[in-house]
Amino acid sequence: MKQRCAVLGIGQTHHAAKRGDLSMSGLVREAALRALDDAGMTFDEIDAVVMGKAPDFFEGVMTPELYLADALGAAGKPVFRVHTAGSVGGSTAIFATHLVTSGIHKRVLTLAWEKQSESNAMWALSPKYPFSPPTTAGAGGYFAPFVRAYIEFTGAPEHIGWQVAYKDRIHALKNPYAHLQMPEITIDMVKNSPVLWDPIRYLETCPSSDGAGAMILVSEDVAEASGKKVAWVHGTANRTEAILYPRRNQVLPQAGSDCAKALYKEAGITDPKREIDTAEIYVPFAWFEPMWLENIGLADANDGWKMVDSGDTMLGGRQPINPSGGVLSSNPIGASGMLRFLEAAHQVRGTAGEHQVEGAKKALGHAYGGGSQYFAMWIVGAEKP
Amino acid sequence: MSTFNTSREEIAIVSFVELSPAEASQLDEIETIQTIVSRATDGAGIARDRIGFTVSGSCDMLVGRPFSWIMAMDGAGVSKPIEESHVEMDGAWALYEAWVRLQHGDIDAALIYCFGANAAEDLMQVLALQLDPYYLAPTGINAAEVAALQASAMLASGATERQFAEVAVRAGLAVSVEAALAEPYLHRPLRASDLPRFSDGAAAMVIARGDYARSVCARPAWIQSMAHIADGHSLGARDLSKSPSLEKAARLAGVGAKATQIVEVHAPFGPQEVIALEALKQAGLSADAKVNPSGGTRAAQSVMVAGLAAIGRAASAIHRGEASRTVGHASSGPALQHNLIAVLEERS
């Protein structure tokens, strides 16, 4: 038996390359307090805390949810830690949702964070596996061949990547929390930026950020008693596949499309291209926008880049993608999925501020991780499911 | 605070396997997962296609490599997409996530596995990375020294070293109380027999709902309830001689509601077992419950596995018909900071 769940509170930090003004505890607390304030609640009212973040190697603290319990008012409460690579912010929100939909808790604080300035992500993302030559190329080196393959398969022109990079930085100018604020951005700047991992250019790449995102997820009765506008969870889904197996499509992974299908089924969506007003999808390198649009059925096969080219994915376009500026503008890795989910919730509550998509009723949040093998998604709506 | 800890759906542990330390030390992570997963599913007559959710528990810091569980997952045979999650916690919390998932009533069974390759390093040093990175970790204190602080706090509030020695004998780490007490201190007041013996390990479990559980298991260990609670972290802000989180979790899980025959406690350091049993007693655990009849997990402690192992062994006692109600306990963090309780029952 399944209960309804709603997003009552949303909070995030001001993301930056280095939040030298905050400790890790300060960082998570900034997001948590903003979410509580938004929900009109205090720590005392929270039943459980569900935290996500990417590898502990980024900050060098093992299972930091234990030490952070103090900062989150969680002593005497259940504290939970999810870790599913880059998708973790999404997976964390999904488990928190399940705590409500199962009827176990009524008020859950879910939070995801990363303080990348404490470490070197290139190092932490270049693990040395037994029997494999070390690439020491970070995530960009790992994903560049997938991007090249997408370009080869679809014949997409080179400027698509520049366009996505430009669009998300323009969107970020409307989001005061976004890390990159580049009013001077032009397509030429992206085009002329150096190639980091062929074909990915510097400005087609996400930044390294310190940041956290938090949500207060509540049961239906709590949502209604609050008298506030909430985002209703219409569906959640996650899918995982192994990193290597014969005939694996790493460009358009089956786990991604299976996840989207399961999600649409649960949310009662039959035509995602029309029924979803806006989506926040996990795009750490510009080319992943057209790839994921195809993977989750917002564009037909080979058409993702055309959707970008037509301007459909700009704010004001047919289906704005990443109106917040997305991962390309802020990437506190473990939090990035949570930010996608909470930005989707902002949109259907009508609280996104300057980057609000007019009249958004249904929005999708998406996160992926590992070698394009972990997917977590949700759909939130302005109306009850 | 509103909390609901009783299973709404009928959910049972139907299969549990763990690798012996000797076996685990011979296998790499993928082989380890392959072995335990196939024993817990195929070996128990559970069809893999009935598994609707898979969740694992492990910790990168033990393996010394970020994203260590990703390659290990290959051993679970994931060649087509599955619904899956991973917790950077002991497998017991992976079980908790699976239990929450099954409450929704739309899938029949979930697979849980966990692994801890930890024989190769100085675990006392690695575990100290769990400490507050600003105020505690820079002092250079290691996990055994944190446990020694806790044991000192216990002695100051009335516990005795003889109690610690009794626990060591029960764990098979000393031949007699006198022999334990004759050992020199390693980290005063801790002696060698108070410390865990770390080893490689892995475990897997299948939990299932209602009729499906009955169809694959003669005596399912029904999960009556589960609850977990964390204490605050800062050592100076806690009364280290007690475990309020464990007592609260045990109350929420209703440990005292009926007579319990067996309790499997996961306390990495001997004196912590004294604290854990006192908390459980306060929450109403039967005075005559047998403690750790499996031998406990301290003689071969695999971090990230030992908690699930304690619960799995409590389930196995029901599977074997040795008890009708058992309690499994898992712990995590410095000085027993985080505790989880599962109450398991036989039903006719």
* CATH code of B254's domain: 3.40.47.10
Q: Which of B216, B250, B285 is the last residue of a domain?
A: B216
Nearest residue in chain A measured CA to CA from B3: A105
How, if at all, do strands B262-264 and B325-332 pair?
A: parallel
The answer to whether the CB atoms of A127 and B59 lie below 8 A apart is no
Q: What is the pTM (predicted TM-score) of this model?
A: 0.97
pLDDT at B2: 43
Residue A249: CB atoms within 10 A of its CB come to 16
DSSP state of B194: G
Same domain, B212 and B80: yes
Nearest Cβ partner for A106 among B2, B54, B67: B2
Residue of B56, B71, B127, B332 to mutate, interface with A, max A Cβ within 10 Å:
B71
The answer to whether the CB atoms of B3 and A125 lie below 8 A apart is no
Per DSSP, helices labelled H in chain A are: 24-39, 65-68, 88-101, 121-124, 138-154, 159-172, 187-191, 220-226, 254-267, 272-275, 288-295, 304-309, 326-329, 333-349
Chain A residues near residue B133 by CB distance under 8 angstroms: 24, 59-61, 64, 67
The range of the structural domain enclosing residue B147 comes to: 126-194
Coil/strand/helix, residue B264 = strand
How, if at all, do strands A231-240 and A374-381 pair?
A: antiparallel
User: Over the stretch B235-269, which tens digit does the pLDDT of each residue have?
Assistant: 999 999 999 999 999 999 999 999 999 999 999 99
B100 at A interface, C-beta within 8 A = yes
The answer to whether the CB atoms of B100 and A107 lie below 8 A apart is no
Contact predicate B228/B341, CB 8 Å: yes
B5 at A interface, C-beta within 8 A = yes
Same domain, B251 and B308: yes
CA A104 to chain centre: 26
Biggest CA–CA distance in chain A, Å, is 58
User: Over the stretch B258-306, which tens digit does the pLDDT of each residue have?
Assistant: 999 999 999 999 999 999 999 999 999 999 999 999 999 888 889 999 9
Same domain, B81 and B210: yes
Q: How far is B213 from chain A (nearest CA, A)?
A: 18
The answer to whether the CB atoms of A62 and B129 lie below 8 A apart is yes
Same domain, B293 and B339: yes
For the residues of B56-107, what is the DSSP string, one character each? EE--HHHHTSTTHHHHHGGGGT--S-B-EEEESS-HHHHHHHHHHHHTTSS-
A255 at B interface, C-beta within 8 A = yes
A195 at B interface, C-beta within 8 A = no
SS3 content of chain A, % helix, strand, coil (to 5): 40, 20, 40
Q: How far is A43 from chain B (nearest CA, A)?
A: 10
Q: How far apart are CA B28 and CA A361, in angstroms?
A: 49
The answer to whether the CB atoms of B87 and A237 lie below 8 A apart is no
Same domain, B204 and B57: yes
Same domain, B271 and B154: no
B99 at A interface, C-beta within 8 A = no
Using alpha carbons, select from B336, B345, B340 the residue that is nearest to residue B5: B340
The answer to whether the CB atoms of A70 and B89 lie below 8 A apart is no
As for how many domains chain B has, the answer is: 3
Same domain, B240 and B286: yes
Whether the pLDDT of residue B212 is over 80: the answer is yes
Same domain, B321 and B309: yes
Same domain, B136 and B86: no
Q: How far apart are CA B195 and CA B150, in angstroms?
A: 13
Mean pLDDT of A212-229: 98
CA distances from B154 to A358, B231, B245, B287 (A): 62, 17, 17, 21
Same domain, B171 and B230: no
Q: Which of B184, B216, B248 is the last residue of a domain?
A: B216
Same domain, B78 and B209: yes
Find all residues with CB under 8 Å of A173, minimum gap 6, and list them: A181, A182, A183, A325
Coil/strand/helix, residue B232 = coil
For chain A, how many residues are written? 385
Same domain, B159 and B68: no
- φ/ψ of A362, rounded to 5, equals -135, 130
Coil/strand/helix, residue A302 = coil
B178 at A interface, C-beta within 8 A = no
User: Over the stretch B55-91, which tens digit does the pLDDT of each residue have?
Assistant: 999 999 888 888 888 888 888 888 789 999 999 999 9
Place of tokens 């569980």: B69
User: Over the stretch A69-88, which tens digit does the pLDDT of each residue have?
Assistant: 999 999 999 999 999 999 99
The answer to whether the CB atoms of B126 and A66 lie below 8 A apart is no
Whether the pLDDT of residue A179 is over 90: the answer is yes
Residue of A45, A216, A240, A241 to mutate, interface with B, max B Cβ within 10 Å:
A240
Sign for the pseudo-dihedral over CA of A261, A263, A269, A272: negative
What number is the ipTM of this complex? 0.97
Whether the pLDDT of residue A306 is over 80: the answer is yes
Coil/strand/helix, residue A377 = strand
User: Over the stretch B102-141, which tens digit does the pLDDT of each residue have?
Assistant: 999 999 999 999 998 776 678 999 999 999 999 999 999 9
Mean pLDDT of A315-335: 97
CA distances from B212 to B50, B217, B221 (A): 9, 9, 13
DSSP state of A126: S
